[in-house]
Chain A
Amino acid sequence: MSANPTLVVDDIHTYYGESYVLQGVSLKVEPGTIAAVLGRNGVGKTTLIRSVIAFTPPRRGKIVFENQDITRWTSYRIAQAGMGLVPQGRRIFISLSVRENLEIARRAATGGNEGWTIDSVLDLFPRLRERMRNSAGTLSGGEQQMLAVARALVGNGRLLLMDEPTEGLSPHVVEELRQLIRRLRDGGMAILLVEQNINFAIESADYVYVMDKGKIVFDGLPSDLAANNDVKETYLGV
Chain B
Amino acid sequence: MTSSTPGFPLPGPPLPDPATGAPEVDPNAPERHGPLSFDGIRELDSNPPRIWTVIYITTFIACLWVLVAYPSIPFLSHGGDSSRVGLLGWSSRAALVADAGRAAAHEPSIQGRFERASYTEIEADPALRGYAVAAATSAFATHCAACHGREGRGNIGFPNLADRDWLWGGTPEAIEHSLQVGIRWPDHEPTRLSQMPAFGRMGMLQRPQILDMVQHVWSLSGMPHDAAAATRAAPVFAENCTSCHGERGEGNQELGAPNLTDQIWLYGNSQQAVFTSIHAARAGVMPVFGARLGTDAIRKLVVYVRSFGGGE
Instruction: Say whether A associates with B.
Output: no
